[in-house]
A = this chain, B = another copy of it.
Amino acid sequence: MKTYLDCLPCFLNQALRAARIATDDEKKVKEVLDEVGMMLKNIPLVSNPPETGRLIYRKVSEITGNWDPYREIKDKSTKKALSLYPSLKSHVEKSNDRLLTAIRIAIAGNVIDFGAGRAFDIEKDTAETLKKDFVICDYSRFKDCLDETDEILYIGDNAGECVFDKVLIEEMKKSTIYVVRNTPVINDATYEDAVKAGIDKVATILSSGTDAPGTVLKRCSLEFKNVYKNSRLIISKGQGNYEALSNEKLPIFFLLTVKCHVVANDIGAGEGDIILKRM
């Protein structure tokens, strides 16, 4: 997805939120906004938003000296998600279509996003997502693709959300490589977060090599890119990964909750909608 003009004020809002979480020093927060304001004119609209997100969150860390401002928030999200895990499993057990319910659960976990600036309540939003209609649902293509492959590349998004992903991974019953960000950016899941969610029990965890809040391929490691290119089924979670990979030609299924009007317009849905889309 390209960068839309609407993304520019959003970058500034993201910088403000992140800086305030990273420091209590309002002068440093102002410095972040000043610097990000100056960066806007250099953002190429042909680039995807996580490429710029990367620069912005790095700037926040450089100025505040805090390189993992969301650590505590991420641990809290994981703890909360783990407490819901038994009830998520029970939802799958009771459902008519276990796989589709597990997909819904994985999408429900995608509300745990501190980058998008939307308030959320994990428990309440999960319950709502389990009842919501899909606006885009390429489920039968997904099942066909799943039947034909032995290995899944599962690109994770946020800490806490990993617990929800675990439910889907367990349901798919295939060898899975679970992809995390290389270093902390917003509340995106890193290796540490995936392990805390128990992903290491059900998948091989692989770093994408990037510190962008999305899988920006040109910033990814060669190791990741090799695995990626040879994948026959890729699951991509969340907006950041959608923004980074939506123009790719590989068999990617995007699982996400739509959290802003820009992604909503780009994908052909509304804010708050749940999506299972094969590009």
Chain A positions near chain B (C-beta within 8 angstroms): 5-6, 8-9, 12-13, 16, 26, 29-30, 33-34, 36-41, 45
Contact = CB atoms under 8 A, between A and B. Distances in A.
B6 A9 contact: no
Given A5-B16, A8-B16, 7 more contacts: A5-B26, A5-B29, A5-B30, A9-B9, A9-B13, A9-B16, A34-B41
Nearest to A30: B5
Most chain-B Cβ atoms within 10 A of its Cβ — which of A9, A12, A34, A38?
A9
Contacts of A34: 40-41
Contacts of A38: 37-38, 40-41
A12 B15 CA distance: 13
Q: Which 7 A-B pairs have the closest CB atoms?
A: A37-B40, A34-B41, A9-B12, A37-B37, A9-B13, A8-B33, A12-B12
Nearest to A14: B9
A278 to B, nearest CB: 30
Contacts of A12: 8-9, 12, 37, 40
B37 A8 contact: yes
A40 to B, nearest CB: 3
Nearest to A10: B9
Contacts of A36: 37
Nearest to A19: B5
Contacts of A39: 37
A33 B29 contact: no
A40 B45 contact: no
A55 to B, nearest CB: 14
A19 to B, nearest CB: 9
Contacts of A8: 12, 16, 33, 37
A13 B40 CA distance: 13
Contacts of A13: 9
Contacts of A40: 12, 33-34, 37-38
Given A9-B9, A38-B38, A30 B16 contact: no
